């Protein structure tokens, strides 16, 4: 009985910390931050870390193999802390702590809570921006009007929405409420696209909606052994393609110049960053300047040198050692998903891996839960309940 109580308290502490962390980071990236202030934001994030420490005191005995993984992950955490320029960047390293702490949490519950932790604050921020409670900043970019919908950058609302959709996609449930959710996602995604001009996220949203209905009608779709192997290798494949195109970019080559233009100079900016700062084994602090607003809602007047490529960014910020370890760990997790026939999570990771070629928001857990979910696959100590094919969702 005592063990049962500890497990419940264990989950309560974790989910309280997780929900607060996700919600506060979404608030930080919106004009809601003006209501709470940066000091409260920092205090809550530190409180989230404290809750995880308290939660660990109630955890059961951890297998030696998992302890070794935890020690390696803590080294990665310290490396990420070392290369963080500011408290907000520091919060990225908390992803490692949540991966470790989630090892005792049932995967099904994790998906359920994570979905609402992403969706609810998104709806609140957008609602407040459209009712005038907070500012709906409008940027004029190349003849386009881009509404920020209460956030500090136009890409944020569509990215958070796609994250929520990804979590629902992995659940794979087909109740009437789920059908309503997916049908509503179509006009909502289109409206956000019209307001923010976030084209890539809109296409990804439609794609994942289509995949959901295909897999609901044909669960064995993309479940062939060779197909799953290729999907499991998608992360290193997209990573290598991205780095190759960036390193070998030549503006005098017509097709490369055309591609760079279509990608809003992403190849050129990535190459400039690599030439300027290089790559160090254990990373470095680099301050990139982008189009987003700061925490006070102000745009920067400095020259833009922002690197959108996720792979270039973590390679430079955290170093080649961390990068190689992260790539190996995530690829291993994808193969483990393949073995467990967790095809939906595998597909989601492949989609995110492709998106990482042109977008760096996947660094943040409130924008992308995929790395967090994949990390829990490696650590989770509840083999059968947590690493099942999630067929149990279908019977809920």
pLDDT of residue 383: 45
pLDDT of residue 296: 64
Report CA-CA distances (Å) from 135 to 26, 31, 82, 149, 235: 15, 7, 34, 8, 38
Report CA-CA distances (Å) from 354 to 186, 231, 232, 350: 22, 11, 13, 6
Structural domain includes residue 317:
yes
pLDDT of residue 279: 92
Structural domain includes residue 246:
no
0.85 surpassed by pTM: yes
236 class by beta-carbon count within 10 Å (0-12 exposed, 13-18 middle, 19+ buried): middle
pLDDT of residue 349: 94
pLDDT tens readout for residues 246-275? 999 999 999 999 999 998 899 999 999 999
pLDDT of residue 124: 96
Structural domain includes residue 348:
yes
pLDDT of residue 392: 39
Number of domains in the chain: 1
Please give the DSSP secondary-structure letter assigned to residue 272.
H
Task: Tokens 């309280």: give the residue.
Answer: 16
Name the residue range of residue 359's domain: 2-241+291-395
To the nearest 10°, report the CA torsion of 326, 83, 53, 95: -40
Structural domain includes residue 260:
no
Structural domain includes residue 140:
yes
Structural domain includes residue 326:
yes
pLDDT tens readout for residues 70-121? 676 677 777 767 766 666 677 788 888 888 888 888 888 999 999 999 999 9
pLDDT of residue 53: 84
pLDDT of residue 102: 86
| Residue numbers of the chain with a pLDDT score lower than 50 | 1-6, 381-396
Report CA-CA distances (Å) from 4 to 7, 111, 156, 307: 5, 21, 40, 48
pLDDT of residue 264: 85
Structural domain includes residue 359:
yes
d(CA 268, CA 259): 10
| 396 three-class SS | coil
**Crossing angle (nearest 10°) for helices 176-196 and 199-217:** 160
Structural domain includes residue 60:
yes
pLDDT of residue 91: 75
| 58 three-class SS | coil
- The number of helix segments (H) and strand segments (E) in the chain equals 17, 2
Task: Tokens 């090892």: give the residue.
Answer: 103
pLDDT of residue 387: 37
């Amino acid at each position: 009985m005592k063990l049962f109580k500890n497990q419940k308290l264990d989950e309560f502490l974790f989910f309280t910390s997780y929900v607060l962390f996700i919600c506060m980071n979404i608030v930080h990236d919106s004009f809601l931050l003006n209501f709470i202030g940066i000091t409260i934001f920092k205090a809550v994030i530190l409180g989230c870390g404290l809750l995880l420490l308290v939660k660990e005191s109630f955890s059961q005995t951890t297998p030696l193999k998992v302890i070794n993984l935890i020690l390696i992950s803590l080294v990665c955490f310290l490396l990420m802390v070392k290369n963080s320029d500011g408290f907000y960047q520091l919060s990225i390293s908390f992803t490692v702590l949540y991966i470790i702490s989630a090892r005792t949490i049932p995967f099904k519950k994790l998906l359920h809570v994570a979905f609402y932790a992403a969706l609810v604050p998104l709806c609140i921020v957008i609602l407040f921006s459209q009712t005038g409670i907070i500012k709906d900043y409008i940027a004029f970019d190349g003849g386009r009007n881009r509404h920020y919908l209460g956030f500090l950058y136009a890409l944020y609302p569509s990215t958070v929405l796609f994250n929520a959709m990804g979590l629902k996609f992995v659940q794979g449930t087909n109740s009437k409420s789920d059908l309503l959710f997916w049908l509503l996602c179509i006009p909502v995604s289109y409206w956000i696209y019209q307001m923010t001009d976030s084209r890539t996220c809109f296409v990804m949203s439609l794609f994942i909606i289509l995949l959901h209905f295909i897999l609901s009608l044909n669960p064995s779709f993309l479940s062939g052994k060779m197909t799953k192997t290729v999907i499991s290798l998608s992360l290193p494949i997209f990573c290598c393609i991205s780095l190759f195109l960036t390193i070998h970019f030549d503006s005098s080559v017509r097709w490369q110049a055309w591609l760079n233009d279509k990608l809003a100079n992403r190849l050129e900016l990535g190459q400039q960053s690599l030439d300027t700062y290089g790559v160090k084994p254990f990373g470095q602090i680099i301050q990139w300047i982008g189009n987003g607003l700061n925490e006070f809602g102000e745009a920067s007047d400095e020259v833009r040198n922002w690197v959108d490529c996720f792979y270039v960014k973590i390679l430079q910020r955290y170093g080649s050692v961390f990068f190689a370890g992260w790539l190996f760990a995530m690829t291993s997790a994808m193969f483990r998903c393949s073995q467990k026939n967790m095809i939906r999570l595998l597909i989601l990771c492949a989609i995110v891996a492709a998106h990482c070629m042109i977008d760096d928001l996947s660094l943040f857990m409130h924008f992308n839960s995929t790395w967090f979910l994949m990390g829990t696959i490696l650590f989770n100590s509840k083999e059968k309940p947590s690493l099942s094919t999630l067929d149990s969702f279908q019977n809920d």
